[in-house]
Chain A
Amino acid sequence: MNRVRIVLLVLVAVIGAAWPSPGWAQTRAAPVDDIDLDLVPMQPDFSLVTLPTTLRLPRYKSAFRVTHRFGRPLAEGSFGSLAEDLFGLDSGAQIGLEYRFGLMRGLQVGLHRTSDRTIEFFGERDIWQERDGHPVSIAAVAMIDGTNNFKDSYTPALGAVVSRTLAPLGTVYIEPIWVNNSNPLPSELSDDNDSVLLGIGTRLRVRPTVYVVAEIIPRITGHNPGANQAAFAIEKRAGGHSFQLNFSNAFGTTIGQIARGGTSNDDWYMGFNISRKFY
């Protein structure tokens, strides 16, 4: 456990200290003048369905998200039986609660806890923003999750989030992420203990406050069990809230769960995300 704490500190130090954001020094204005407070219509939220975006969280502000995945596969049983079960509502669910905080300009940290007792800590450091004249926005991300309330099976990850706005259509994302210890078995019993994910996603703005979201997260090398996690969703923004109805082939919302893949390409589950920005 102590070693993991050391690792966590090292990760935060690397992400937080090594990449001073361009223009950081001259933009340490009071939060009320912070450009990060402005709504970004092409990128209104901090996540797609599970993948992070490059949206910056204003300094000292925060956001909350609930993730919810119903446990019944949509293809199980007849449509009538599924409707009686309200499309999975009565069959249990995996629920996640997430809170993130803008620690400093361009640096957000947070935690995500799912109902299978997994806790994930994460941090995201902004490197480039398109609004500064760069061709893409880039952020570095670091996460670590642990099962059994962060007591067992730690899965750390480092990666990058690259986004490109295609106004007025939406935004596309490429997210290479290295995940360590994605295999829950000891390394003596496995060929691979790491996975490299390549998250690909998009959020398309189909109406002024309505979006279609899709993502797929193939494991391009390393430990690769089950099915590659994929999801699509429709999303409605209402002020600081986002309501997202999603369909995915897995319950994973933390990086370790995502790296271990979906149950099957044939099993799809309904779910939703609700997020709220506190600014």
Chain B
Amino acid sequence: MQRKMLAGALVLALSAVSSACDEKLSDVTGPTPNLQPTLSSIQRDIFSSTDASGRLACTQCHSDAGGRTPSGGLNLREGVAFAGLVGIASRGKPGAVRVIAGDPDNSYLIHKLETRSDIVGVRMPRGNGPFLTPGQMLVLRRWIALGARND
């Protein structure tokens, strides 16, 4: 009887511990507290919105709204961003792929946002910042690592 009570108490303790101690995602994502590692969330908080830090929305340049030509041939407007990103070759750098599902380190989108030495052109967003925060980059990387799904 005592062993059953002990097992029950342990299960209770483990459950309480697991749920109590995880960090909050919103503590990491800074100016976009609702950002999640899903395309719909990234579209809403990163691609389509200027955030509280003053970082410009990607769609200010990468959009066909109003009949414009998207900068670099990359259209990040809602509904078409997935088709222009995942498995699609970069127009700026031969051989580079914008997003390689499951491989954030080799996805050119990440290189452009983190200003790797191999990029063609300038770091994104264009200008002198603000750029995506390290927490926002972690979310973007996580979406790609999870398979860059159209979710």
Q: List 26 A-B contacts (CB under 8 A).
A: A6-B20, A7-B13, A7-B21, A10-B12, A10-B13, A11-B13, A11-B17, A14-B9, A18-B2, A18-B5, A18-B6, A154-B21, A155-B21, A156-B17, A158-B13, A185-B23, A185-B28, A185-B138, A186-B23, A186-B25, A186-B27, A188-B37, A188-B142, A189-B25, A189-B28, A189-B142
B139 in the interface, Cβ–Cβ < 8 Å? Answer: yes
Query: Chain B interface mostly helix, strand, loop or mixed?
Result: helix
In Å, the complex CA distance between A185 and B142 comes to 11
Identify B16's interface contact among A7, A18, A181, A187, CB under 8 A. Answer: A7
Instruction: List residues of chain A with CB within 8 A of the CB of B27.
Output: 186
Query: Is there an interface contact between B25 and A188, defined as CB atoms closer than 8 Å?
Result: yes
Instruction: List residues of chain B with CB within 8 A of the CB of A180.
Output: 14, 17-18, 21
Top 9 closest A-B pairs, CB basis?
A181-B21, A3-B20, A154-B21, A186-B25, A18-B6, A186-B23, A10-B13, A156-B17, A188-B25
In the complex formed, the residue of B with least CB distance to A194 is B18
Known contacts A186-B25, A188-B36; A14/B13 CB under 8 A? yes
Instruction: List residues of chain B with CB within 8 A of the CB of A14.
Output: 6, 9-10, 13
The minimal Cβ–Cβ distance linking B14 to chain A, given in whole angstroms, is 7
Instruction: List residues of chain A with CB within 8 A of the CB of B23.
Output: 153, 181, 184-186
B22 in the interface, Cβ–Cβ < 8 Å? Answer: yes
Interface residues in chain A, defined as those with a beta carbon under 8 Å from any beta carbon in chain B: 3-4, 6-7, 10-11, 13-14, 18-19, 153-156, 158, 180-181, 184-189, 193-194
Chain B interface residue count, CB cutoff 8 Å, equals 25
Instruction: List residues of chain A with CB within 8 A of the CB of B5.
Output: 18
Number of A-B contacts (CB under 8 A): 69
Contact with A along B16-52 (1 / 0, CB 8 A): 1111111111011000000011000000000000000
Query: Is there an interface contact between A154 and B24, defined as CB atoms closer than 8 Å?
Result: no
In the complex formed, the residue of A with least CB distance to B27 is A186
Known: A7-B13, A189-B37. 16 other contacts (CB 8 A): A7-B16, A7-B17, A7-B21, A10-B9, A10-B16, A14-B6, A14-B10, A18-B2, A18-B5, A154-B20, A181-B23, A184-B23, A186-B23, A186-B27, A188-B36, A189-B138
Interface residues in chain B, defined as those with a beta carbon under 8 Å from any beta carbon in chain A: 2, 5-6, 9-10, 12-14, 16-25, 27-28, 36-37, 138-139, 142
Query: Is there an interface contact between B21 and A4, defined as CB atoms closer than 8 Å?
Result: yes
Instruction: List residues of chain B with CB within 8 A of the CB of A18.
Output: 2, 5-6, 9
Query: Is there an interface contact between B6 and A4, defined as CB atoms closer than 8 Å?
Result: no
In Å, the complex CA distance between A184 and B28 comes to 10
In the complex formed, the residue of B with least CB distance to A5 is B20
Instruction: List residues of chain A with CB within 8 A of the CB of B37.
Output: 188-189
The minimal Cβ–Cβ distance linking A60 to chain B, given in whole angstroms, is 26
In Å, the complex CA distance between A194 and B5 comes to 25
Query: Is there an interface contact between B12 and A156, defined as CB atoms closer than 8 Å?
Result: no
In the complex formed, the residue of B with least CB distance to A152 is B23
Query: Is there an interface contact between B22 and A186, defined as CB atoms closer than 8 Å?
Result: yes
Query: Is there an interface contact between B14 and A158, defined as CB atoms closer than 8 Å?
Result: yes
Instruction: List residues of chain A with CB within 8 A of the CB of B36.
Output: 188
Identify A189's interface contact among B12, B21, B139, CB under 8 A. Answer: B139
Query: Is there an interface contact between B22 and A7, defined as CB atoms closer than 8 Å?
Result: no
Instruction: List residues of chain A with CB within 8 A of the CB of B25.
Output: 186, 188-189
